[in-house]
């Protein structure tokens, strides 16, 4: 813990940590030492971790990287961070992210962007660690903590993992309780571990999962010991390669990465099968209707009364002015864009044309996966991202270009499936690239074992 705290102080320029909690960390580390000495040490005991700012942590600022939650210190702990705490994990502080987890580059944060510790070749240009869990990815990749929590609504664990050479697991929807995690799009949001290795993801993922009566979408499904399932043996398992993920204009390096990963699993004894997921091309548009729709509803609660920030009011201002000014000043541009898009697609005149249609597309996307799994495919291999980490400032002014980063990841959230990003290579500038494995519901153990064979 002490080594991590020093490393964090020396790495302020990365902007990975938004709030540091050194005293609390040392207290928890001392308590963990006692537990270890007493022979009562669960797997996470004494492990220094970072917690994404989206998780409510008792008595510690939890701002979702938004001005509107300025000064908010919850009186409660999210179920997931509470499970890690009870398992002895030592929280070092809260990690930077995109505002309300909306973004793919960590540039929408009220704290300013986080930086990727990797550099391209000899260039000094600072790169994005990805988003929205950019602080988590940066902190793990720069050895500021042993592991971090992330959340993934459309790729926010897997894309930053791929951009930083780390491992990111998005569990099956319902595996991790959403209680106490600031909601973005409730039918898509899932917490998960961001770690240096697949083994660490197995250990930490298990500690984060489990049924929680406080989240009605939390699943009552046994959580096996994933670590004991990491044999590296993939003989006979069937890996699907979906042709729809071979996008026009895909960089040759990504093609090669994907082909190399396929060859590696084949050499290890897996059966490779070409498959089709025909509705893939509708996933990104459907996601960017459903996610803003749910966000516009979830973000209605930030009204200047219940949480955080309230705008300064002029004499004569009433409650309407308070809402308007607070929300205009408290939300950043991307969040406002999502609230407006979401409100529009849910409005009476457009509900059927956009929201209902997107929901039907979502059902078709899920059916594509169901059919492939029913036909005997065990896991699906795809690239995690369409490129390596890009330069900060490059895409932030073009929302649609930014949204395209999620093209390989959003299908997994729409279908509620587990997905993992594993670092498997470098691009010509020496930057990390990752592959994604998509698994059957509740089969995180099998999925992590396949990822382990690829690592």
Q: SS3 for 139?
A: helix
Query: Smallest distance, Å, CB 132 to ligand GLN?
Result: 4
Among residues 90 and 101, whose Cβ is nearest to ligand GLN?
101
Q: Cβ of residue 231: shortest distance to ligand GLN, in angstroms?
A: 31
Strand order in the sheet with 48-52: 17-20, 90-95, 48-52, 147-152, 190-195, 167-170, 419-426, 432-439, 379-383, 238-242, 271-275
In the complex with ligand GLN, the residue whose CB is nearer, 106 or 449, is 106
Where in 109-236 does DSSP place strands (E)?
A: 147-152, 167-170, 190-195
Closest CA to 229 of 211, 251, 205: 205
In DSSP terms, 205 is beta-bridged to none
Residue 397 designated active-site:
no
For the CB of residue 21, give the shortest distance to ligand GLN in the complex, in Å.
23
Q: Which of 324, 308, 333, 321 is nearest to 68 (CA)?
A: 308
Write down the catalytic residue from 66, 81, 109, 132.
132
Residue closest to ligand GLN (Cβ): 156
CA atoms of 290 and 298, how far apart (whole Å):
12
Report the nearest approach of ligand GLN to the CB of residue 169 (Å): 13
- Quickly list H helices, 38-121: 79-86
CA dist., res. 95 & res. 290, Å (int): 26
Largest CA distance in the chain: 74
Nearer to ligand GLN, 265 or 295 (CB): 295
- Least spacing, CB of residue 101 vs ligand GLN, in Å: 4
Annotated active-site residue in 62, 78, 109, 156: 156
Q: Where are the alpha helices (DSSP H) in 281-424?
A: 283-298, 319-330, 333-346, 357-374, 399-403, 410-415
152 vs 212 by CB, closer to ligand GLN: 152
| CA 315, chain centre distance (Å) | 43
Give residues in contact with ligand GLN (CB under 6 A).
Answer: 101-104, 132, 152-156, 184, 291, 406
d(C-alpha 421, C-alpha 327), whole Å: 35
Comparison of 49 and 54: residue with beta carbon closer to ligand GLN: 54
Q: Among this protein's residues, is 156 annotated catalytic?
A: yes
Q: Which is nearer to ligand GLN, 100 or 442 (CB)?
A: 100
CA distances from 109 to 54, 63, 204, 342, 411 (A): 12, 10, 26, 20, 25
Which helix (H) or strand (E) element contains residue 432?
A: strand 432-439
Helix (H, G, I), strand (E, B) or coil at 80: helix
Closest to ligand GLN by CB, 153 vs 296, is: 153
Report in angstroms how near the CB of residue 16 gets to ligand GLN at its nearest: 17
Q: Which residues of 392-407 are buried (b: 16+ CB within 10 A; e: fewer)?
A: beebbeebeebbebbb
Cα–Cα distance for residue pair 130/346, rounded to 1 Å: 29
**Least Å from the CB of residue 385 to ligand GLN:** 11
Write out the catalytic residue numbers: 52, 132, 156
């Amino acid at each position: 813990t002490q080594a991590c705290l020093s490393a964090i102080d020396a790495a302020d320029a990365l902007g990975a940590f938004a709030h540091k909690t050194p005293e609390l960390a040392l207290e928890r580390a001392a308590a963990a030492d006692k537990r270890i000495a007493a022979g009562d040490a669960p797997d996470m005991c004494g492990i220094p971790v970072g917690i994404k700012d989206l998780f409510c942590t008792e008595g510690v600022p939890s701002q979702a990287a938004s001005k509107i939650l300025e000064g908010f210190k919850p009186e409660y702990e999210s179920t997931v961070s509470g499970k890690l705490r009870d398992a002895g994990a030592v929280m070092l502080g809260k990690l930077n992210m995109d505002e309300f987890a909306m973004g793919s580059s960590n540039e929408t944060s009220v704290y300013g962007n986080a930086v990727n510790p990797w550099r391209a070749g000899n260039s000094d240009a600072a790169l994005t660690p990805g988003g929205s869990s950019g602080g988590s990815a940066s902190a793990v990749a720069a050895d500021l903590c042993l592991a971090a929590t992330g959340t993934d609504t459309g790729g926010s664990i897997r894309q930053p993992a791929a951009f930083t050479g780390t491992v990111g697991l998005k569990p099956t929807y319902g595996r991790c309780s959403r209680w106490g995690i600031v909601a973005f799009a409730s039918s898509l949001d899932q917490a998960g571990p961001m770690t240096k290795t697949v083994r660490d993801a197995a250990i930490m993922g298990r500690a984060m999962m489990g049924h929680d009566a406080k989240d009605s979408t939390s699943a009552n499904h046994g959580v096996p010991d994933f670590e004991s399932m990491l044999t590296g043996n993939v003989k006979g398992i069937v890996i699907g390669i979906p042709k729809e993920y071979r996008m026009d204009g895909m960089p040759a390096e990504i093609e090669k990465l994907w082909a190399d990963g396929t060859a590696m699993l084949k050499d290890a004894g897996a059966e490779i099968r070409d498959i089709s997921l025909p509705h893939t091309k509708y996933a990104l548009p459907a996601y960017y209707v459903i996610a803003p729709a749910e966000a516009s509803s979830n973000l209605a609660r930030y009204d200047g009364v219940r949480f955080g920030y309230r705008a300064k009011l002029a004499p004569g201002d009433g409650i309407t002015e308070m809402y308007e000014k607070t929300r205009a000043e408290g939300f950043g541009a991307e969040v406002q864009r999502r609230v407006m898009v979401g409100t529009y697609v849910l409005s009476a005149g457009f509900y059927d044309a956009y929201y209902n249609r997107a929901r039907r597309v979502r059902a078709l996307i899920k059916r594509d996966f169901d059919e492939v799994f029913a036909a005997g495919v065990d896991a699906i291999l795809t690239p995690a991202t369409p490129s390596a980490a890009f330069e900060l400032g490059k895409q932030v002014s073009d929302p649609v270009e930014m949204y395209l980063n999620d093209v390989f990841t959003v299908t997994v959230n729409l279908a509620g499936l587990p997905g993992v990003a594993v670092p498997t290579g470098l691009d010509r500038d020496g930057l990390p690239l990752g592959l994604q494995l998509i698994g059957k519901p509740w089969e995180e153990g099998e999925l992590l074992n396949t990822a382990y064979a690829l690592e």
